[in-house]
Structure 1
Amino acid sequence: MPNMPSTSSLELSTTLSLRSGDQSWGTERRMALLAAIGTEGSISAAARKVGLSYKAAWDAVDLMNSLAGDLLVERVTGGKRGGGAHLTERARELIAWYQAAQAEHQRFMENLTRVGPNGARHLDLLHHMTLQTSARNCYEGTIGAIESGRINDRIRLDLGEGVSLNATLTHASTERLGLAEGRRALAFLKAQAVRIRPQAASAADLNLWTGLIDHRTDDDTLAEISLDINAKVRITGLAAPGAPRGSLLAGTTATACFQAADVLIGTLD
């Protein structure tokens, strides 16, 4: 994980999310979309206002309508203005409640930061500790570059201390997640997608990290290896097929190789 900022420079920003079962649907971004639909009178205009693509906005509206339990957005077709969308009374009540609850939530979090020394740093750490995933390799960083394509985008996530990784995801996913240069993001990578080699390989769209082997576990067919890239970054993968016997031992240098397409990207809000 990258170094935490100093307590004096850390600003704690929180958002309030609404859930239905295991599904989070009322995020701050989606609630902003709802409010924009109310002022703009159409989903396309609201999408432009909050920085979403038209398709991402439609998908968000469909999700909110299906999970909220009540219809929030009604679509209007035809008419002098060629159709549009408007909020139901339930949606307007929800927006007003959410804005009031968000203000109270923010005041509560600000008070928590004053409980003991380094309160903001402790809260930020607890936020990350709540994350649960089956992926052995989880990283947090800052998006350093986005190379956009018509279908796929290439994302560079900077983890700090000169370490970065590349991920490939669809352009629609980039828009849906609201990814932009400078935004914090998470990367997830299963150990099965990582191959540990005694020396660097070379291939297009391949991430290569070199470090020292810290730990190795063997069974009848596989060898799982943890590689320390630096003091903050560690990666776990499997020994590459055909690696020479007696190589890839603890304390030796090796290279972790993984495809950009195997990296999953997530956000913290």
Structure 2
Amino acid sequence: MNGGSNGLLSGELRLAGRLDARFFALLQALADTGSLQRAARAAGYSYKGAWLVLEQAGNLAHGPLVQARQGGRGGGGSALTPAAHALLQGWHTLTQRHAAFLREQAQWLADQPELAALLRRTAMKTTARNQFAGRIEALTRGPATVQVRLSLPGGLPLRAALNAEAAEALGLAEGQEALAMVKASEVVLVQDFGGYRLSASNQLAGTVSRVTKGATGSLVGLTLPGGLTLTASVTNDAVDALDLRVGQPATACFKASVVMLAVAA
């Protein structure tokens, strides 16, 4: 069983290390239908798999959990033994107590804003390799676009650009905490500007700390001032051409328009 507050807190109830919600769903379905075949389908087991798990649990319980029921007009079937009924009742009681425990801990968590904020940032799942928590320092609103300046840990600046409609939907405001996400494929690494200046709004200088080569592409980790790590996805040819190695300086460049922002709901 899982429970929690806004997805921040969850817990799985499992008895004796192996008896989980799926097993007890099988017992409940068997009690409701009197048919192991139908109960197995309802709980997501094969017929053979249901028999196997019930036999194993019965061995641990030192007695069968299922007994054959004599046929009548409707034919034979299966029924729970008294031991299985007691086990199922115990499960229902424990799930209620478990849910109450989670609610109590969720209430405590609600009084820990810093911890809750950390968990919210960690809980977000996305394909973007680069995710940074920052605070909005400034908003520049134009007729169609909103420019956002964030401050990352260590004082690093990060700029994002989004359309006015999206900014309004997010309710962006100065001082607000936000998550900035950037796909690794959107990051261009520069070692030598050769006297040129780039139009990319974000240019973060750091040190190459990781080069992981694949069949055709590489993931390059760049450690920024303050300890943050930014990942770029580049071709193996680019790695060889730039002779990218751990310890070398490099600058990660990407446009403000490729930065996605997320704020707490």
Return the TM-score normalized by structure 1: 0.54
Which of residues 187, 190, 201 in structure 2 aligns to 1:197? 190
Which of residues 216, 227, 236 in structure 1 aligns to 2:231? 236
Return the letter of the residue paired with 2:249. T
Taking the aligned partners of 1:216 and 1:146, their CA distance within structure 2 comes to 36
In structure 2, relative to structure 1, the CA distance for the partners of 1:239 and 1:255 (3 Å cut) is: farther
- RMSD over aligned Cα, in angstroms? 3.0
**Structure 1 SS opposite 2:128:** coil
List aligned pairs for 1:70-81, cutoff 5 A. none
Which structure: greater helix fraction? Answer: 2
User: Which stretches in structure 1 are left out of the alignment for 5+ residues?
Assistant: 1-14, 18-105
Taking the aligned partners of 1:212 and 1:176, their CA distance within structure 2 comes to 37
Deviation (angstroms), 1:218? 1.8
Taking the aligned partners of 2:253 and 2:183, their CA distance within structure 1 comes to 12
List aligned pairs for 1:1-269, cutoff 5 A. 109=106, 111-112=108-109, 121-200=114-193, 202-239=197-234, 245=241, 247-269=243-265
Deviation (angstroms), 1:239? 3.8
Return the TM-score normalized by structure 2: 0.54
Work out whether residues 142 and 183 of structure 1, in 8 Å CA contact, stay in contact via their aligned partners in 2: yes
In structure 2, relative to structure 1, the CA distance for the partners of 1:158 and 1:150 (3 Å cut) is: same
Q: Alpha-carbon deviations, 1:1-25, whole Å to 9, x = none?
A: xxxxxxxxxxxxxx979xxxxxxxx
**Structure 2 SS opposite 1:161:** helix
Q: Identity rate of aligned residues, in percent?
A: 28
Taking the aligned partners of 1:204 and 1:239, their CA distance within structure 2 comes to 20
Deviation (angstroms), 1:182? 0.8
User: Which stretches in structure 2 are left out of the alignment for 5+ residues?
Assistant: 8-102
Taking the aligned partners of 1:178 and 1:113, their CA distance within structure 2 comes to 22
Q: Which has the higher contact order (CA 8 A, sep 6+)?
A: 1
Q: Alpha-carbon deviations, 1:200-254, whole Å to 9, x = none?
A: 4632243101111110012343222000002431100034775663622101111
Deviation (angstroms), 1:121? 4.6
Deviation (angstroms), 1:110? 5.2
Taking the aligned partners of 1:229 and 1:250, their CA distance within structure 2 comes to 13
**Structure 1 SS opposite 2:147:** strand
In structure 2, relative to structure 1, the CA distance for the partners of 1:246 and 1:268 (3 Å cut) is: same
Taking the aligned partners of 2:233 and 2:204, their CA distance within structure 1 comes to 14
Deviation (angstroms), 1:122? 4.0
**Structure 1 SS opposite 2:179:** strand
**Structure 1 SS opposite 2:120:** helix
Work out whether residues 113 and 120 of structure 1, in 8 Å CA contact, stay in contact via their aligned partners in 2: yes
In structure 2, relative to structure 1, the CA distance for the partners of 1:198 and 1:239 (3 Å cut) is: farther
The alignment covers a number of residue pairs equal to: 164
Moved more, 191-200 or 147-156: 191-200
The structure having more radius of gyration, on CA atoms, is 2
Taking the aligned partners of 2:165 and 2:217, their CA distance within structure 1 comes to 37
Taking the aligned partners of 2:175 and 2:223, their CA distance within structure 1 comes to 26
Work out whether residues 191 and 250 of structure 2, in 8 Å CA contact, stay in contact via their aligned partners in 1: yes
